[in-house]
Structure 1
Amino acid sequence: MEKHNDGPARDTGLTERWNAAVSGGRAPGHKNMLLLIQLRWIAVAGQVTTIVIAAIVFGVQLPLPYMLEVVACLVGFNVASHLRWSEQQEVTNSELFLSLLVDVISLTAQLYLSGGTNNPFAFLYLLQVILSAVLLRGWATWIIVLATSVCLAGLALFAKPLPLQLDHSRGIFSLYVQGLLLCFALDAALLVFFIRRITNNLRAGDAKLAALRQRAAEEEHIVRMGLLASGAAHELGTPLATLSVILGDWRRMPAVSKNPDLLEDITEMQAQLQRCKSIVSGILLSAGEARGESSVRTTIHTFLDQLTAEWRASRPVAAFDYYNRIGEDLPVVFDSALKQMICNVLDNALEASPEWLSFVATREDDMLVMSVSDSGPGFAPEILAQFGKPYNSSKGRPGGGLGLFLSVNVARTLGGTVEARNRPQGGASVQMRLPLAALVLEEESADAE
């Protein structure tokens, strides 16, 4: 049995889709780097405030010039980080690691100048460790743990304690205990605030990746359906041609040509046969295998007017309201897939509401908006929740829901959307939105440039 090993190809395609998705927005790593930059600004403000309060309010003797130099270096690093990451969108694990390492070094320098391990704010090391556990890979997290441990041990050995009387017997009135409580409150608040935001970033990235995987699976499903449809169209070509020859022979037979009733039946059969051949040609054209047809330059008004006229003539609809409110008539290129997308939506509306339906085409800025409304029972809530998914249908027959599934994916391929809702006055409405840039002729776009 032949085995297909297309895993790497799928992973490559998924990676390309991921890169394309985050190029227009921000990847989780970039968002996390921006959070670290915000946290560093908070650290700068906190350090300046603490230095001012300790020196002025409590009269603590601090090496202010050196401590302010550390603050200035941290400000310079943060400004450079902000300028860099406002231009570059991709952030690696190593870059996040180095950023956290700078924070550890700056905290160590400030603690060395302000009492070492006797400074209650030494517990801020835990903030760096926990952030590294959330943001970094395993090896980088353990390096941060080792670095903070070494820095803390170095402070215990080399830092000079501040000339403070640490009178623990005073309880909460002790300056050290008050600093400890403030450090704990600051640690807890920053951890809750930033870890929640970081977790939301990671969840958003996972959700986007899951959506891309789902889209890749749906596109693979469409490819399989396209191959089956193309194969079926090829198989149907021969019997349709045979039937066409037989009907032509029958039409020329004297017994038939002299019988008006038989001649009318054969004429109708030939018309229906021609329609079948047209459908087969459309399938092959969508698959890139045209049966002698070529693309025809048309306009948006002509295409929609002809499509609705052909659809209405071949369907038993009692009342069909068509409104073309696009305005300017633009030269465009439409393929059979787009035509089939619109017909699928109209066919579904006709099944739900044979008495009446409407088709309205308008233009909103650079978007072509087509709305199909009916007076049927509307969509069930579970159908709306999974709208556009394969086999999501209330018709209760095999293959139900594939028409809307294909319509959603054709629109998505062109950069558009298909949305459904229930109308307040009853019935349902399906809105197709397509960017005109995907439909306008290439030469017209070039002239406009």
Structure 2
Amino acid sequence: MTDFSTELLSSDRRGNWIRLRTIILVRWIAIVGQVSALLVAQFGFGLEIEYGLCYLAVGVSVIGNLVALFVFPENKLLSETENMFMILFDILQLGFLLFLTGGLNNPFSFLVVGPVTVSALVLSVRSTLIVATLAIAMVTLLLNFHLPLRMQEFFILRIPDVFLYGNWGAIVIAILFSSLYSRRVVTEMSSMADALAATQMALAREQKLTDLGGVVAAAAHELGTPLATIKLTSSELMEELDDNPELRDDAALIREQADRCRDILRSMGRAGKDDLHLRRAPFSAVIEEAAEPHLDRGKAIFFEHLGLVDGPEIPRPAEIVHGLRNLIQNAVDFARTTVWIETEWDEERLFVRIMDDGKGFPPHLIGRIGDPFIRRRRSEKERSQRPGYEGMGLGLFIAKTLLERTGAELSFANGTNEEMGHKEDGLGAIVEVVWLRSKFDANASSGSLGQNPRVEA
């Protein structure tokens, strides 16, 4: 994944994705609600409050919306700072209205929680802390500083102090809880979205490498004719240039290089042909293919096929090879000296077990393995072991996601000396991948390579 794509996927940039039009729409809804509440208070309940100042506060929001609507384009994306100031303005405007209408005696004082929740959903932690701090400070001031609510008979509407302080405590708790809860949920969603995007990119890359063989075969076929023409023309030139040795040698060189290009394309074409035999392979061969890039990384890898033959023939899509390759890479990275890969099959299921002689999975993380972006502090030894990795979450998430798309079930555990008696040194990690043969084994459904395609003359 490139730095640019990582930046686009980063959850820290969510605050730059909100359109000004969205903020304007939400503010219009708030304005309608505020005006409706003021009209009901004035004509429905006959409350005596500073309606002039209240309508002035609402009018400021209206003017701000109209200016933003006519000055800026509708598709303008607000920056993190612009969004924060928009939310701060809404909080201050709401606080001024609450100051004019009884402070925390006003049942609408709980609306202060709304802007803070929005900030936790879309802005950074720093911006959310600023917004939440301002909101808590504002409701604290409104506890003692506000204009009273009066009826037409000048009777003051005021709740007892115990309920007033209860409202303050409830609002502060709601601000903190909604901020933390919303932030946690949106972080989980963002991490999952980032991990799924990374999985799709990894699968697309693997699929491109698989499709490259077909492109090579097509190129070999298309370039065959012009190369044959070059060879024929150079041969004729050699016959006509018998009396000019220097030019005849040049023509001979052209024919020689044309033959060389033909041989290269022929060998590449054989490797890239869409052969049905290349679409599937013995079960053990697919496992060895997945492990091939890690055979020369300084760790011993032993294969153990618990059967008399290489196992049933299975399809070999990119998901299987890339998923198993990630699991084997993780085992090689954390193994001390040795990795064991066992394959086994019976009438109903296919098994792959990948074991290493490392320290094993951290016990407190075994239940979370497969979740994206598991963060933990690493020692200097682990950093030197895997210098390019921030954690073990994303790679295993990609492997788990790709393999589960093929119908596999994965389980993660740590081995014991009794279970892994052939190991010399302590505990190690075990990853087991299981498929049902009825869903996975090509022979279970077709039993052969299928009918030979008809060759047109």
Is TM (by shorter chain) over 0.5? no
TM range (shorter): 0.3 to 0.5
The structure showing larger relative contact order (alpha-carbon pairs under 8 Å, at least 6 residues apart) is 2
Structure with the bigger percentage of helix: 1
TM-score of the superposition, structure 2-length normalised? 0.39
TM-score of the superposition, structure 1-length normalised? 0.40
